[in-house]
Amino acid sequence: MNWEDFFKEEESKEYYINLMKSINKAYTKTTVFPPKEKIFNAFDLTPMSNLKVVLLGQDPYHSAGQAQGLAFSTPCDVKNPPSMRNILKEISSDLNKKSTCEDGDLNPWAKDGVLLINAILTVEEAKPKSHHKLGWEKFTDNLIKFISLNTKDIIFILWGASAIKKEKIIDTSKHYILKGVHPSPLSSYRGFFGCKHFSKTNDILKQLGKAEVRW
């Protein structure tokens, strides 16, 4: 199975047809992020055959130049947003070394087998969660079900309440779940710092005989 199989399944469904109509309209009438050609960037960079980890975010960054179709990631020439700064702090504390992605561009993680996917894949400029309820949540629910059903030994990292809701659609007899609070400044001090999800992920990968992620 590969992502093409997943998209073939979804493309014929009524919710997906309506979602694409709404999204195409939004791109013509308002400013939407990420750039249209980058909406499905995560799938291009992390083929299913290379998948080791699913890291689930909420929705894309809503300021110009930030979103690039990978959860939490920004282009290297853009200042790291607060959530990304907190992720880098936790990596440094957890692994006792700096991240390989100090510039906030997480393309290397994606190429290393980490699917960086948001629950909602698009957003209107300066309006967080503005594309909530267009159908993206159903799309990502179906994606997680597809991964859960057609693979094994995937580590799902769920940060924040909306990501943790997806826990119930993951088959825990075949997969691993690490969950905790979101790295945003609003919640990071309530348990994100010290969660050690980066070392825990690599410990599981080692046990499975897989290459560790170069966080």
Q: Which amino acid is residue 48, in one-letter code?
A: M
Which residues, at least 6 apart from 114, have a Cβ–Cβ distance to it below 8 Å? Answer: 46, 52, 53, 54, 55, 106, 213
Identify the bridge partners of residue 33 per DSSP, sorted by sequence position. Answer: 123
The residue with tokens 């691993």 is 176
Conformation bin of residue 135: beta by default, left when phi > 0, alpha when psi is -120 to 50: left
Which residues, at least 6 apart from 147, have a Cβ–Cβ distance to it below 8 Å? Answer: 48, 51, 54, 115, 154
Which residues, at least 6 apart from 83, have a Cβ–Cβ distance to it below 8 Å? Answer: 72, 182, 183, 184, 185
Q: Kindly list the distances between the CA atom of residue 47 and the CA atoms of 52, 91, 166, in Å, as whole numbers in the listed order.
A: 10, 25, 21
> Catalytic residue positions?
59
Query: What is the total residue count of the chain?
Result: 215
Which residues, at least 6 apart from 154, have a Cβ–Cβ distance to it below 8 Å? Answer: 51, 52, 53, 54, 147, 148, 175, 176
